[in-house]
Structure 1
């Protein structure tokens, strides 16, 4: 049996047992496992990793470890100023298209309300999510750490919070979506871009008070759902404004 030393930094410690945080962890192994296999055996899913230093030199997830190696593993974090070529996220930037697991329906709608392309269906298995993420180049968002460990997933993020608004803020910050906001561009139900529609064409679909107080409407060409800028739009605009204020302040 061989032993290598691992140290996880920053947000990667969220995946460790409390007694292992801010500590060097001894990893015992046979043969020559890949770094990816070792870090996932210790609980850290590979899409959360941005930089690996193997004996103080940059390494890949597929690189094998040997007895006595010292491995430092870092998350994506703006505070680190890495030399060119070190950062996985800079070498292979994540697309601003997402696929969410079946438990994140409310987050999916919130992301679509912001205009962020978000694939979501209630009947997708973990294997299907991983396959779609690979085929369509999507970022996986989930509360299931096991899902993120599937080897075909390139980009992914484990949501720390269980509350939708906090989850949304996590995603915006992690994937730098500040310039991607386009509220009411997408249908909240089917992710299709909506189109402006004359009030007269959808009058029968409108609640009485909406007919009275609103004149600007949008409709999904796919599922025919109708949208207008009501109180939910105002709340989302306020949320965006507060996010930007927090970012700049």
Structure 2
């Protein structure tokens, strides 16, 4: 190792971001004596969105701290549940997380979703403008400085993704209150008022309907309701819910 250096230890949860050679405890890591600890951690492959406390020789320091030769640095993962100060807890999901977005909406969580690839700069700008936590599996996207906040989604399995996000942020749940298509609020709907938006067979078979206040999509307890209800029941059993969630029908 040339020049000054530190001993870097990543928390076990963060080691998947680093190459295998950097996953042990007290890995010798070169520094230049001028770069911040945040830069050093990102250079090791870890997005700062995933970093909790930083300890230098046992003392907590900010990401702006410049490590000195010979110091021991520990990089801890974010605490769970993670607090997001300064705004109501809302999410923005990139183009690859459509299923997760729909499941969060099913649980009443405010989850905006881009179903087209609008590019990293536009996503980061929207996160900042709307003060939304950006969820992504793209490490490069999570390193963009203009983000309001971000979080890496650790699995490519939708069930595990949902548990990861709910466990990390503990959002209040209000199942059946959001449109899974557009994220708008649902309201009770009279059968006669939605008759021109549903097929005759559906109108004859069901009596309870809801409609999105934004996109006017109609919902009822259709063939997929049991599967969706299972997703809701499991999430509420493990993570709880907000007081008095409305019960809404769902058609898909």
Under a length normalisation based on structure 2, what TM-score does the superposition of the two structures give? 0.85
State the SS of the aligned residue for 2:224: helix
CA-CA distance at 1:57 after TM superposition: 0.8
CA-CA distance at 1:236 after TM superposition: 2.7
**Per-residue deviation, residues 61-89 of structure 1 (Å, max 9, x unmatched):** 1222222221101112459xxxxxxxxx4
Match of 1:122 in 2: 115
Match of 1:98 in 2: 91
Alpha carbons 1:4, 1:26 under 8 Å: kept: yes
**Per-residue deviation, residues 168-226 of structure 1 (Å, max 9, x unmatched):** 1111111123xx22122112222111221111011122134421222111112222211
- Matches of 1:159 and 1:57 in 2, distance apart? 29
Q: CA RMSD in A?
A: 2.3
State the SS of the aligned residue for 2:124: helix
Q: Name the count of aligned residue pairs.
A: 237
- Matches of 2:215 and 2:115 in 1, distance apart? 17
Match of 1:198 in 2: 190
| Superposition pairs of residues 1-249 of structure 1, within 5 angstroms | 1-78=3-80, 89-90=82-83, 92=85, 95-123=88-116, 124-177=118-171, 180-245=172-237
Change (3 A) 1:144 1:94: farther
**Per-residue deviation, residues 142-171 of structure 1 (Å, max 9, x unmatched):** 110111111233532211211212211111
Match of 2:245 in 1: none
Change (3 A) 1:125 1:48: same
Q: Which moved more, 1:217-226 or 1:202-211?
A: 202-211
Q: Which moved more, 1:161-170 or 1:206-215?
A: 206-215
Alpha carbons 1:101, 1:126 under 8 Å: kept: no
- Matches of 1:95 and 1:66 in 2, distance apart? 38
Gaps of 5+ in 1: 80-88
- Matches of 2:17 and 2:214 in 1, distance apart? 41
State the SS of the aligned residue for 1:187: coil
Alpha carbons 1:94, 1:175 under 8 Å: kept: no
State the SS of the aligned residue for 1:202: helix
- Matches of 2:77 and 2:153 in 1, distance apart? 14
State the SS of the aligned residue for 2:134: strand
